[in-house]
Amino acid sequence: MPKRKLGKSGLEVSAIGLGCMGMSFSYGPPKDKQEMISLLRAAVDRGITFFDTAEVYGPYTNEELVGEALAPYRGQVVIATKFGFDLNPNLDPRGMKGAPGLNSRPEHIRQAVAGSLKRLRVETIDLLYQHRVDPNVPIEDVAGTVKELIQEGKVKHFGLSEAGVQTIRRAHVVQPLTALQSEYSLWTRAPEKEVLPTCEELGIGFVAYSPLGKGFLTGAMNENTKLDSTDFRSTLPRFTPEAMKANQALIDLLARIAQRKKATPAQIALAWLLAQKPWIVPIPGTTKLNRLEENIGAVEVELTPDDLREIDSAASRIRVQGARYPEKLEQMTGR
């Protein structure tokens, strides 16, 4: 597995990471804990060194799972987690209804970090993200608090998730950002406009979550796919049968290239992301070993400049249908 550096920070991680959320949150009922521990350890055995979790996933149970599974590999892996939500016992398992409010007050950040350190069974958090920008707390206060936590040895690197350009710049002045994590894939290309150029200018790495379009870009879903009510995709405008039918054109494009490259649509989607910039690291999530191995195989797929031009040209003619989040959640992004 090749490695990549996240911007100028020197933080080196596997070129493809593993998003752990779906193991215990959002995509239907939590998966079997022992099976997920085995999967996480299988990922390490296959060269993945970058794992993504958050206190809100569960809440808390995903960090506990990751902490237990990766305890034997301390020092060999990089674990990223996130703070920024007010967690309450009534949190819906889909992470939607009764979704928690935002809270990035300095004392709350410290509380969250203390809990994450315990659950992850580590002395220092490798990469700590603000999960969503809190409009009620100046980003300078957030960055200043994380800076103190870095000085205290509780955190190594600072990141933001789904932040807009002005927030990124303001935070970076106080405490240099190692990474920005936002959704980015062939069907979610908003970061290309302003965010990626800003990351390049400032030397910030980019971590792409949902690089396979929450499963859609694997080609395993279509308008007849029935999503369980506990699956948060059932609440997303982009996963209505009409939208999935309209967006099938993207799958057809990926499948066409995949056939030529003797690869799968998912591998082409990941290889496309890897080809965009050397400091972009996708973190596809999965709960299945065969999918994990398929995703890892994307690093072997080489897309030529001609391939990339063909994908861009074809993708630019496809209008993606449906917003990626309901309005309330979309309002939390890009601030």
Is the Cα torsion angle 4, 296, 196, 236 positive or negative in sign?
negative
Nearest to 333 by CA among 116, 158, 142, 167: 167
CB contact set of 108 (below 8 Å; sequence gap of 6+)? 83, 86
Candidates 27, 57, 60, 184; catalytic one: 57
- Single-letter residue type at 157: H
Residue 238 Cα to chain centre, angstroms? 18
Q: Supply the DSSP symbol for 210.
A: S
Percent of residues in the chain assigned helix, strand, coil, to nearest 5: 45, 15, 40
Compute the distance between CA of residue 161 and CA of residue 197 in angstroms, rounded to an integer.
16
CA-to-CA dists, residue 39 to 134, 217, 293, angstroms: 34, 22, 11
CA dist., res. 299 & res. 115, Å (int): 35
In DSSP terms, which residues pair with 12 in a beta bridge? 5
From 61, 114, 116, 54, select the one nearest 85 (Cα to Cα).
54
Q: Is 129 a catalytic residue?
A: no
Select from 50, 139, 156 the least CA-distant residue to 102.
Answer: 139
> How far is 128 from 311, CA to CA, in rounded Å?
34
Q: Catalytic residue numbers? A: 57
